[in-house]
Amino acid sequence: MHLLHSFLSEHPLLALAQAAFMIWMLVDAYRRRAEGYWFWVILFLPALGALAYFFAVKLPDFRGPNLGGLFQRRASLDELRYRAEHVPTLVSHLDLAERLIEQGSPAEAEPHLLAALKMEPEHPRPVYALALCHKEQGHPDLAVPLLEGLTARDPRWHNYAAWYLLVESRARAGDAAGALASCRELVRLAPSLQHNCLLAEHLLAAHQAEEADRLLAASLRDHDYAPGPIRRRNRRWASEARRLRKRAAAGGGG
């Protein structure tokens, strides 16, 4: 570490680039509400911590095989259709399907996701996207088994995105008990303030206001004594927890 500091002090431009890269990773961690320990890794392991975060968390955002995708224009929908038709790879089908979902055409996206899953049946991206298609088309019951499999195989995939969709899908399918059970499992897996708020929301929906209030009170107490960067990152969820406590005090009503 001493050698690294000496090297950076002798090369101020590299030191400036390293500082900018570290700030980029800190901002990204804040925006995606990454696990709190990443802030300590980035801040207290100069250069190495930011690189570790980049390769462990940020890099999967770039869907291409290399970083060249950072500097490429976004393909048009027509171009994505052409690729899926003439170069029918998993990536071409998946890129088109995700764009169609983004633009509100889940029914059109579904055949491309099924084609992608024929190539790699357990690939998490098409599994998640197909579950999202089912939910968006008013069939959350079809989304549930896909998400159950995904959360079982990779519980922390994409910063717990599959868990959030599983909770929502179960609730929309009328399975309030299943949604609540999923919230409890998510909190057991990752007891963040955000996840505790989600659990409290479903406890209130189940008329369990006392348990929700106890959970939120303990969560806010932990938040009050957390390190500064974590408190700032969770400011939104602390506000949500206080709002939910008011609901709990009113007996769970909206």
pLDDT one-digit tens code per residue, 82-137: 999 999 999 999 999 999 999 999 999 999 999 999 999 999 999 999 999 999 99
61 within domain boundaries: yes
How many alpha carbons lie under 13 Å from residue 181 in its C-beta half-sphere?
6
Instruction: Return the closest-CA partner of residue 163 out of 185, 141, 133.
Output: 185
* Range with the poorest average pLDDT among 1-15, 69-83, 185-199: 1-15
The pLDDT of residue 167 is 98
Which tokens sit at 50? Answer: 């930011």
24 within domain boundaries: yes
Residue 69 · residue 62 · CB < 8 Å: yes
Residue 69 in this model has a pLDDT that exceeds 50: no
166 within domain boundaries: no
Which amino acid, residue 147? Answer: L
Residue 27 CB neighbour total at 10 angstroms: 10
64 within domain boundaries: yes
112 within domain boundaries: no
Alpha carbons 160 and 212: distance in angstroms, whole number: 22
Residue 141 CB neighbour total at 10 angstroms: 15
Count structural domains, the chain. 1
Alpha carbons 249 and 87: distance in angstroms, whole number: 58
The pLDDT of residue 64 is 43
Residue 68 in this model has a pLDDT that exceeds 70: no
> Domain range spanning residue 33?
1-70
Angstrom distances, CA of residue 81 to CA of 8, 108, 115? 47, 11, 14
The pLDDT of residue 197 is 97
Residue 97 · residue 109 · CB < 8 Å: yes
32 within domain boundaries: yes
Which amino acid, residue 232? Answer: R
131 within domain boundaries: no
241 within domain boundaries: no
Q: What is the mean pLDDT of residues 169-175?
A: 97
pLDDT one-digit tens code per residue, 187-206: 999 999 999 999 999 999 99
